[in-house]
Structure 1
Amino acid sequence: MSHTIGKKIPLVDGAQKVTGRAVYIDDIVLPGKVMLIGKILRSPFAHAKIKKIDYSQAKKLKGVFAVATAKDSENRFGVLPITKDETAFAIDKVTFIGDQIAAVAATDEETAIKALDLIKVEYEELPPILKPEKSLAPISHPDQKIQPWSKYEGNIFKTVNQSFGDVEKALKKSAVIKNGKFSFNGVTHAFTEPMGVIASYGSDKKLTMWSSTQVPHYLHRALSEVMEMPMHRIKVIRPYVGGGFGGKSDPFPHEMAAAILSKKTGKPVKILFDRDEVFISNHGRHPTKTEMQMSATKDGEFTSLEIDALIDGGAWGSFGVITTYYNGVLSLGPYKIKNFNYSGNRVYTNKPASGAMRGHGAVNSRFAVETLIDEIAEDIGFDPCDLRIQNAYEPNSITANGFRITSCGIKECIEKVKTASNWDKKFKKMPYGKGIGIGCGFYISGSALPINWERMPQSTVHVKIDFDGGVTVHSLAAEIGQGSDTVLAQCVGEILKCDMSRIRIYSKNTDTAPIDLGSYSSRVTFMAGLAAKRAAEEIKKQILNAASRIMSSPVENLKLQNDQIIEPKTKSSISFNEAVREALHDSGALHGKGHYQAPNLNPGLPRVNELRGKESKKGAPMGGSHKGAAAGLSPSYSMGAYVCQLEVDPETGLVKVEKVWAAHDCGKALNPLAVEGQIEGCIHMGLGQALMESFDYNRNTGRIENPNLLDYRCIPPTMMPDVDVFMVESADPEGPFGAKEAGEGPILPILPAVANAIYDAVGIRLRNLPMTPEKIISAIAKKK
């Protein structure tokens, strides 16, 4: 019987948050220290040379302790080692409106803002490149190169070309070929807490940084490079984080600026963003233009898929290499498509950088795939649900590009939402203006290849037990509101069969926690969860050995149960604490260490570790030997299916989503309460991108015209539909207790489900997101 797994357990930090006791970055006070306020001077131009910076008057202002510019650190950094193109401050030229030019540290915010006004910068304006199509063209002058260290021609950041099977041959036997041009605007994460940081460089020449981050380890590395300090002299502490969704998964220039200012002043420096700075600085979803073609036989067999994506990366690299691959490779699942061509170009433009956002790299292309499937179904006379089931993968399958699918509950997901929504009585049978639509999803449970391409484990967890039986778990997996601390506690509690009140999680400090790569790519439950489980299993052995001595019974006859060790045959028992004390008498310490490292998923293939350019004797965790084979490769994949019912007002174009039936294959719901929350949160975020959210850029200057939560419209609570959640538990053979991800994949089905429902309601196909009332009215008018 399960002890903690599968139980609806409230988040372990929930009480701290709802009572206001949780300490976020802006709540931090350093006793006995004067904390300075840092503010950043930003570029008013999208593209310009910096001819001169004069901050002499700013330094003279009473209350100003320091001014920092690129002269204080020119070292480049970035979340991906292969594309380090960011610096603390702009060097020689600015590349987008909002680029960091200088920063000041002062006694208070008012003084800091006055100091910024006193900094004089002489610019030489350059024509901005704002359209991604222009970035594909060769440059005629060096000034047109946005990032001079890019190895590609023009302003191309990354090009990916992949081909599997024979698309041309497949097209010849296809009865239907559907294609379309799709356009996706950039969107932001809209997390509640603005980005913020505190840096404190002490007289001991050690740096401590508190940051609202998803990736303490990557920030730790970046600080070491920028500050030219060994990592053991830097400590990164993650306080409570008010949401991230990918927007806090890079090391950022403002974090470097705070560290530089603190070193210059010898005092702690706090930088807290205004909301408009968040919009400028956080790396939202990539604007993308996609051409897609999909084909099928008259019997409903998918025969080919072709994708050509132009991805607007803005001024920096961020996670862009991964984005470029994911736009293509994650489009294949969960369907059997043997023939596939993908061409993707991510380009630099003079706009704020794009990066990772919930469902990273997969949301836009999934929308296109799922809407084309509905078009194919209509042409060949298939029900959209049945067509998807017919083409869905089975467990233990290999995709055309070498991804290994272990557990696979996609068919059950589709069947559940089809039945629950009463699909057969509604599809194509509802009054004009009312419609129903389906969409599916497919996503990774962490990346099999770590960002730094090292053989070091991707997650390590330490567990220790105190003399009184208290269990302490040390991990650097970043709790950002998604519930990872709770999942780790559950994994440990399930193995030790102890009360959850015994367990404390310490996951905030790089000095005390072993390395974990952070919260991104839906990796924490799978990877850190397995590490925690293995650490607890080490301690379990020690406890049972101790109990065996006390009870004079073989270890194999004993079991942990409800804070006790029992011998079922004799019904004798001792308390958990008795066994712990005996174990401590024997060893002096009860420690367990567990780690996770992705397996070599296809050991039969000879392969070259392309990223190192060397033969890999042990093999890299890749599913194939082709270039880019590791991109999108995961130890396990989640999948899901949603049905959306909505009403469209043909006069106003307003869409009211009335109901969503959401089925997600999460392997095993370790905490159904948390899984349900993740699914509903994904639906909320997906509806925003589908219906209203968008960065509005000035076409001439590149300035974001709606950098606040008033003008940038998110879905309000009153627009959230009723949601029925179905957790499909396919019991993944490699996940912790059978679990897979449930934090990002659930966003994928909702966008196409809405689009397909709009078509069922009023007969129009919309290919450009968001699907605003204006676009809907225009499309209805054209149809008439």
Structure 2
Amino acid sequence: MSGKKFNLVGKARRRVDGRAKVTGRTVFADDLVLPRMVFCKLVRSPHPHARVLSVDGSRAMKIPGVLLVLSGRDTPNEYGILPVSQDETGLATEKVRYVGDPVAAVIATSERVAEEAMEMVQVEYEPLTTIAEPEDALATPEPRIHDYGEEGNIHKRVHFRFGDVDESLAASDHVFENSFHFIGNTHAAMEQHASVADIDRNGKITLWSSTQCPHYVHRALQKTLDIPADRIRVIACHNGGGFGGKSDILNHEIVVTVAALKLGRPVKCTLTREEVFYAHRGRHPVKMKLRTGVNSDGILQGMDLQTVVDGGGYGSYGVASLFYTGALSTVTYHLPRYRFRGVRTFTNKPACGPKRGHGTPQPRFGQEVQLDMIAESLNLDPAELRLRNLVQPNSLTANYLKVGTIGLGDCIRKVTESSGWNDKFRKMGDGRGFGLACSSYLCGAGLAIYWNKLPQSGVQLQIDRSGRVTVFCGATEIGQGSDDVLLGIVAEILGIDPMHMTAVTGDTELTPVDLGSYSSRVTLMMGNAAIQAAERARDMIGSAVAKKLDLPEKRLVFAGGRVFDHEDPEKGMDWRDAVWAGEEMHGTLGTVGSYTPPRPAAKFKGGGVGPSPAYSFTACVTEVEVDR
């Protein structure tokens, strides 16, 4: 589609789901009310680290309206988003690993009754030494928070070296060494997490959930429930924001499915705002040290980056986050030689995971601040320093990441010009500052979380005799507008109005697999699959219309709800008639499309983290006033 003039793509228009959202008709997970539905509340640990000696729900079961009390015995199978970190259970079995770790669940006829019964569940604990900080984890191998991992309370160590970094630092005119601490934070999405599970008369389980990744939840349920995948259906409800916090498999999703199977009726669990902070999976706190060599003209010669990552109580996406902490530091600025040493530790806090950038904002903060320090020391303009060091288009970084197009130079020039940079920088007076920062990120990972050669996104089109096009895709609408993008791309190619189309998304039973809404992947990967499916549909219909009109197919234009001859626009037919012609020639109209990213160039262990079909770049200028 590159090089074409578009009718829809890139143009302002009404979102296909906009009316439903602003009128309150969009259905979120907590809006669901099913016949005979009951409610689940989770009993959480008051201890950061303890053995679970016993769980007794007998007193809770005596409360009228209480139907079931679950413990770790009911959810023994381990799961995890990454194959290397299968370390969670729906409810804690032998240990709790942070304050708020779920240890039991109460299912009752109302939330009020379930909350009352929670107080009656008796849990006996044996407190263990608390590992509160990464330094504690490094210095305290016992007691171990998990029995797996590289050593003691170290989850993973990573060490990469590309070129002789020590030599490059020794040969540099200047070496800057700085330490930074990026504190953790959470997503704070407007919608709390919620899930509803139901079981039909044939024993098939359906889970509706506020998840970004229904495909991964489906895989985890198959493992934890130990039932065939075709007996499980996961439907991602519209999300009221995700930002990475709903891209993991969370305890309540496992628990409600187990409860529904035991009770034979629908079970809902909606987390409170406080519980969302326990579920968390927020941005990792990172302590980092950067040693960067630079010549007097400001050209970077090499970098040595060391990070210590606080992972919290479970693995989550943590191994990938650790790799990303080092992998993408070479994508924004050219570093001819680069070394990264990182460690992720377990601590007795809620598990960290992916949050908007998935491990990359932390070192980006350190690198951008250090660049300002370098500019100050060398008496260079920070914007000019960045422009001198940009990665070049169509290049290969030191760690074998293929960078195609890069518009960061234009971004820097535009933000400095529009902000009045030359008139304000270092001229703002006491208590006021004017700063520039840049960043880069991938557009979807080059490799799936569980490695395979399968497509990462699929799209299916169904066209009925009214001319309505229904588009099926596993991607999840989390507020970012992916349903609108999906229909807009297909509508652009077929020349029809997206408001007269239907999107069916995020349903593991009805839609082709898409790995989920994370890592800025959806528009690129889902979009390419949609282009392929739509072009195949256009070709089927175009061949039939060309035959009807006795025209070469290459002269046909699909636009404005018509298919017509571009040399004689009056010669053509409306979309519905074109669909009928297509079905007359080809039978029932339906097509599929899929997208698989190019294979990464890197061959070293860990080289699968960082490659992407494309990278995005940003630059921003901020004016700050600080009260004295």
For normalisation by structure 1, the TM-score amounts to 0.78
Letter in 1 for 2:533: A
Offset of residue 622 of structure 1: 2.1
Is it true that 1:635 corresponds to 2:616 in the alignment? no
Per the alignment, residue 216 of structure 2 pairs with 218
Offset of residue 570 of structure 1: 3.5
Give me the whole-angstrom Cα distance separating, in 2, the residues matched to 1:176 and 1:355: 36
Per the alignment, residue 126 of structure 1 pairs with 128
Is it true that 1:597 corresponds to 2:601 in the alignment? no
Offset of residue 56 of structure 1: 1.5
4+ aligned runs moved over 3 Å, structure 1:
none
2:439 paired residue among 433, 441, 448: 441
Give me the whole-angstrom Cα distance separating, in 2, the residues matched to 1:563 and 1:468: 13
1:423 paired residue among 413, 421, 424: 421
Give me the whole-angstrom Cα distance separating, in 2, the residues matched to 1:648 and 1:40: 43
Is it true that 1:228 corresponds to 2:230 in the alignment? no
Q: How does 1:276-355 map to 2 (within 5 A)?
A: 276-355=274-353
Offset of residue 152 of structure 1: 1.0
Per the alignment, residue 488 of structure 1 pairs with 486
Give me the whole-angstrom Cα distance separating, in 2, the residues matched to 1:643 and 1:530: 33
Give me the whole-angstrom Cα distance separating, in 2, the residues matched to 1:570 and 1:302: 59
Contact 2:331 2:403 in 1 (8 A): no
2:44 paired residue among 39, 42, 46: 42
Offset of residue 203 of structure 1: 2.9
Contact 2:336 2:398 in 1 (8 A): yes
SS in structure 2 opposite 1:34? coil
Letter in 2 for 1:234: I
| Stretch moving more, 427-436 or 219-228 | 427-436
| Stretch moving more, 165-174 or 303-312 | 165-174
2:59 paired residue among 57, 60, 64: 57
Q: How does 1:395-474 map to 2 (within 5 A)?
A: 395-474=393-472
Q: How does 1:557-596 map to 2 (within 5 A)?
A: 557-571=555-569, 572-596=571-595
Contact 2:49 2:348 in 1 (8 A): yes
Give me the whole-angstrom Cα distance separating, in 2, the residues matched to 1:457 and 1:508: 16
Offset of residue 430 of structure 1: 2.1
Contact 1:534 1:594 in 2 (8 A): yes
Cα shift readout 1:38-96 (whole Å, capped 9, x = no counterpart): 01111110111111111122222221111111111211111112211110111111111
Root-mean-square deviation over aligned CA pairs: 1.1
Cα shift readout 1:413-448 (whole Å, capped 9, x = no counterpart): 111111111111111122222221100001000000
Letter in 1 for 2:442: I
SS in structure 2 opposite 1:98? coil
Cα shift readout 1:121-160 (whole Å, capped 9, x = no counterpart): 11111111111112123525xxx11011x23111111111
Per the alignment, residue 539 of structure 1 pairs with 537
2:263 paired residue among 244, 265, 276: 265
Per the alignment, residue 473 of structure 2 pairs with 475
Give me the whole-angstrom Cα distance separating, in 2, the residues matched to 1:21 and 1:561: 31
Is it true that 1:626 corresponds to 2:615 in the alignment? no
Per the alignment, residue 523 of structure 1 pairs with 521
Q: How does 1:194-209 map to 2 (within 5 A)?
A: 194-209=192-207
Letter in 2 for 1:244: G
Give me the whole-angstrom Cα distance separating, in 1, the residues matched to 2:561 and 2:201: 47
Per the alignment, residue 175 of structure 1 pairs with 173
2:83 paired residue among 81, 84, 92: 81
Contact 1:176 1:376 in 2 (8 A): no
2:25 paired residue among 10, 15, 21: 21
1:502 paired residue among 485, 500, 503: 500
1:116 paired residue among 103, 113, 118: 118
For normalisation by structure 2, the TM-score amounts to 0.98
SS in structure 2 opposite 1:15? helix
Contact 1:537 1:592 in 2 (8 A): no
Contact 1:176 1:380 in 2 (8 A): no
Offset of residue 502 of structure 1: 2.1
SS in structure 2 opposite 1:242? coil
Offset of residue 9 of structure 1: 2.4
Gaps of 5+ in 1: 600-620, 652-784
Give me the whole-angstrom Cα distance separating, in 2, the residues matched to 1:368 and 1:479: 33
| Stretch moving more, 259-268 or 168-177 | 168-177
Letter in 2 for 1:585: E
Give me the whole-angstrom Cα distance separating, in 2, the residues matched to 1:553 and 1:224: 53
Per the alignment, residue 384 of structure 1 pairs with 382
Contact 1:249 1:520 in 2 (8 A): yes
1:8 paired residue among 6, 12, 17: 12
Letter in 2 for 1:43: S
Gaps of 5+ in 2: none
Per the alignment, residue 157 of structure 2 pairs with 159
Give me the whole-angstrom Cα distance separating, in 1, the residues matched to 2:421 and 2:47: 53
Contact 1:239 1:508 in 2 (8 A): yes
Give me the whole-angstrom Cα distance separating, in 1, the residues matched to 2:262 and 2:116: 20
Give me the whole-angstrom Cα distance separating, in 2, the residues matched to 1:392 and 1:99: 45
Contact 1:558 1:566 in 2 (8 A): yes
Letter in 1 for 2:137: S
Give me the whole-angstrom Cα distance separating, in 2, the residues matched to 1:213 and 1:202: 22
Give me the whole-angstrom Cα distance separating, in 2, the residues matched to 1:637 and 1:119: 51
Offset of residue 283 of structure 1: 0.6
Letter in 1 for 2:153: N
Cα shift readout 1:208-230 (whole Å, capped 9, x = no counterpart): 11100000000011111111111
Is it true that 1:647 corresponds to 2:619 in the alignment? no
| Stretch moving more, 241-250 or 131-140 | 131-140
Contact 2:458 2:514 in 1 (8 A): yes
Offset of residue 177 of structure 1: 1.5
1:72 paired residue among 71, 74, 91: 74
Give me the whole-angstrom Cα distance separating, in 1, the residues matched to 2:115 and 2:170: 66
State the identity as a percent. 41
Cα shift readout 1:277-316 (whole Å, capped 9, x = no counterpart): 0001121111111111212101221011111111000011
Cα shift readout 1:470-502 (whole Å, capped 9, x = no counterpart): 111000100000010111111101111111222
Give me the whole-angstrom Cα distance separating, in 2, the residues matched to 1:589 and 1:3: 28
Contact 1:42 1:99 in 2 (8 A): yes
Letter in 1 for 2:611: L
Give me the whole-angstrom Cα distance separating, in 1, the residues matched to 2:327 and 2:218: 31
Give me the whole-angstrom Cα distance separating, in 2, the residues matched to 1:597 and 1:44: 45
1:357 paired residue among 328, 338, 355: 355
SS in structure 2 opposite 1:633? coil
Letter in 2 for 1:584: E
Contact 1:66 1:104 in 2 (8 A): yes
Offset of residue 569 of structure 1: 2.4
Give me the whole-angstrom Cα distance separating, in 2, the residues matched to 1:10 and 1:229: 43
Per the alignment, residue 92 of structure 2 pairs with 90
